[in-house]
Amino acid sequence: MSHLSRTLEDLDMFGLKRSDLIQLCMVIKETDAAPCKNYLSIIASDENGFPNNCFVIESLWGKPDAEEERIPITGKIAMMLKLKPEEYMAYFDLVLAHILMHDAYGLGNPMKEGLTLEAGMSHNIFVNKARNLDTAYPEGEAKLTVAEDLKISTGTEVRE
């Protein structure tokens, strides 16, 4: 176990470092690729109440004025995880990682809401973003239809 960055006692007391679990994380767009950023480490409990280390990427938690990066629908977040539970933690089942995609400004619990990842598997996750329209326009101002609003905000034309 000399390849570990800390002792098993340290891991029991302080949890994992991001580099203990995430070997590679990249945001890939058609025009470029960049390493993931804005990491956050939290503790999330599973359905039995056991604490789990959770690493959030591309997070804007606690940064309400930060601008969300726009990743096109063809964009990807590619991650390579180092799942070796026998080397760094006690485990209770064969599911070794959970993943959840959520709003950049919020937090979720991947153990309760996410997908389970197993060694050797590849997953494609697609995101739909809902947008709330404010329909309370001041008197005398023209109201936009949903199709008009989408065209203005995203450049997407909706055919009715």
110-122 pLDDT, tens digit per residue, is 877 777 777 667 7
pLDDT band at 4 (very low <50, low <70, confident <90, very high): very low
Q: Are 107 and 56 in contact (CB under 8 A)?
A: yes
Tokens of 147: 């199709």
* pTM over cut 0.75: no
Cα 34 to Cα 67, 91, 112, 124, 159, distances in angstroms: 17, 33, 29, 19, 35
**Which of residues 122 and 36 earns the better pLDDT score?**
36
What value does the mean pLDDT take over residues 132-143? 58
What value does the mean pLDDT take over residues 52-68? 83
Sign of CA dihedral 140, 146, 150, 156: negative
* Winning range, highest mean pLDDT, from 5-9, 38-42, 46-50: 38-42
Q: Is the pLDDT of residue 150 over 80?
A: no
Three-class SS state of 112:
helix
Lowest mean pLDDT among 45-49, 109-113, 139-143: 139-143
Q: Is the pLDDT of residue 152 over 50?
A: yes
Lowest mean pLDDT among 100-104, 141-145, 148-152, 156-160: 156-160
Nearest to 57, CA basis, from 71, 46, 74: 71
What's the rounded Cα separation, in Å, for the pair 115 and 107?
Answer: 15
Tokens of 90: 């006690």
R_g of the chain, CA atoms, integer Å:
20
Biggest alpha carbon–alpha carbon distance for the chain: 72
Amino acid at 105: Y
pLDDT band at 35 (very low <50, low <70, confident <90, very high): very high
**Which of residues 22 and 86 earns the better pLDDT score?**
22
Cα 46 to Cα 24, 49, 53, 92, 96, distances in angstroms: 25, 5, 10, 11, 12
